[in-house]
């Protein structure tokens, strides 16, 4: 939006003595012609904007217009900028560039580390690039309180159409989920975005319900029974256990291997989690899970022996 760009432009000019039109165009992702039109707009609005010609020239604001920028502390700004940059990676909204420029304009002049000490990289990989359009559609439906319509394949492979009131998007364990009210099931449900097809925003709106965020753990929404499995792992993949369940699940280290507890669902879903370790994992106990996992692996092998 133009007003957001103009505010961002003002914040840049407040931060610097003189900025070239080329740099302004690059930072705001517009043409230099647009920058010159914006400068004219600010001038007509009464802001004391000046321009200098030549190699060292550029655009600036009269010093008498400079303000004290103590609204946020340096730590406040770094936290906000890290969050906004992560959000921009997901949605790619140009408007976020303007917001970021506004916040950067509040940095003290002696701050050089604008990236902050922590960074969260939520840029989508190649396989998830298509999810960006899905996220944008969901965001539109939530903001405008309109139904989402899509075809859905559940974890058992059954397909069906859904009409959902969208309320919340959750990122958990490398996957994106939608929490909403399913009109077909007449209850709140969680849907995995990667299982959706033909997602579209309905023209029909809904009256928001009193929604409470749904638990994204081994709760009732997964409807599964978990089994504590003891596994022997090569130490090179022990970090996967720590990341998922914590250091306490590493029982002891034995040379190049370690014993660990790894809760799974006692079915193909859980066995696939163990297969992700490849040959670096051996199921030790309970015996019934070891036997079931062995039969599961044999079933996979059988597809290649026939």
**pLDDT tens by residue, 209-263:** 999 888 876 444 444 578 999 999 999 999 989 988 889 999 999 899 999 999 9
Q: Which residue has the higher pLDDT, 102 or 286?
A: 286
| Average pLDDT of span 184-205 | 92
Q: Where are the domains of the chain?
A: 1-117, 127-205, 226-305
Query: Quick check: 42 and 10 in contact, CB under 8 A?
Result: yes
**pLDDT tens by residue, 4-29:** 787 788 778 877 778 888 888 888 88
| Average pLDDT of span 84-105 | 62
- For residue 80, what pLDDT band results from cuts at 50, 70 and 90? low
What is the rounded CA–CA span in Å between residue 225 and residue 248? 21
Angle, helix 21-28 to helix 2-15, in steps of 10 degrees: 130
Record: fold of 127-205: SH3 type barrels. (2.30.30)
**pTM, full prediction:** 0.54
User: Domain 1-117 classified CATH 1.10.3470?
Assistant: no
**pLDDT tens by residue, 249-292:** 999 998 999 999 999 988 888 899 999 999 999 999 999 999 99
Query: Quick check: 190 and 179 in contact, CB under 8 A?
Result: yes
pLDDT of residue 50: 77
pLDDT of residue 46: 73
pLDDT of residue 150: 95
In sequence order, what DSSP letters do the residues of the chain get, joined into one string? -HHHHHHHHHHHHHH-S-B-HHHHHHHHTS-HHHHHHHHHHHHHTT--EEEE-STT-EEEE-GGG-----SS-HHHHHHHHHHHHHHHHHH--HHHHHHHHHHHTTS-TT---TT-S--------GGGHHHHHHHHHHHHHHHHTEEEEEEEE-TTS-EEEEEEEEEEEEEETTEEEEEEEETTTTEEEEEEGGGEEEEEEEEEE-PPP---PPP-SSSTTT---EEEEEEEEEGGGHHHHHHHH-GGGEEEEETTEEEEEEEEESSHHHHHHHHTTGGGEEEEE-HHHHHHHHHHHHHHHHHHH-
pLDDT of residue 27: 86
What is the rounded CA–CA span in Å between residue 85 and residue 305? 50
What is the rounded CA–CA span in Å between residue 68 and residue 21? 25
pLDDT of residue 110: 42
pLDDT of residue 118: 63
pLDDT of residue 170: 86
Beta bridge partners of 161: 151
| Average pLDDT of span 36-63 | 77
């Amino acid at each position: 939006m133009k007003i957001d760009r103009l505010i961002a432009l003002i914040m840049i000019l407040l931060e610097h003595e003189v900025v070239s039109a080329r740099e302004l165009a690059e930072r705001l992702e517009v043409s230099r012609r647009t920058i010159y039109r914006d400068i004219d707009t600010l001038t007509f609005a009464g802001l004391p904007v000046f321009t200098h010609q030549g190699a060292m020239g550029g655009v600036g604001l009269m010093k008498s217009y400079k303000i004290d920028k103590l609204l946020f502390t340096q730590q406040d700004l770094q936290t906000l900028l890290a969050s906004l940059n992560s959000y921009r990676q997901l949605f790619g909204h140009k408007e976020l560039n303007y917001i970021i420029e506004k916040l950067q304009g509040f940095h003290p002049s002696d701050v050089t580390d604008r990236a902050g000490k922590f960074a969260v990289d939520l840029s989508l990989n190649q396989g998830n690039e298509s999810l960006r359009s899905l996220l944008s559609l969901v965001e539109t439906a939530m903001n405008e309180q309109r139904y989402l319509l899509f075809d859905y394949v559940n974890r058992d492979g059954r397909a069906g159409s859904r009409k959902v009131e969208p309320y919340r998007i959750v990122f958990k364990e490398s996957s994106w989920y939608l929490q909403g009210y399913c009109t077909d099931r007449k209850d709140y449900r969680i849907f995995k975005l990667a299982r959706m097809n033909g997602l579209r925003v309905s023209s029909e709106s809904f009256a928001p319900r009193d929604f409470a965020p749904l638990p994204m753990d081994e709760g009732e929404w997964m409807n599964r029974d978990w089994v504590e499995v003891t596994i022997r792992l090569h130490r090179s993949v022990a970090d996967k256990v720590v990341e998922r369940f914590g250091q306490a699940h590493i029982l002891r280290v034995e040379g190049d291997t370690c014993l660990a507890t790894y809760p799974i669902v006692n079915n193909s879903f859980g066995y696939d989690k163990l297969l992700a370790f490849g040959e670096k994992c051996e199921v030790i106990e309970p015996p019934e899970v070891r036997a079931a996992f062995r039969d599961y692996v044999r079933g996979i092998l059988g597809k290649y022996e026939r």
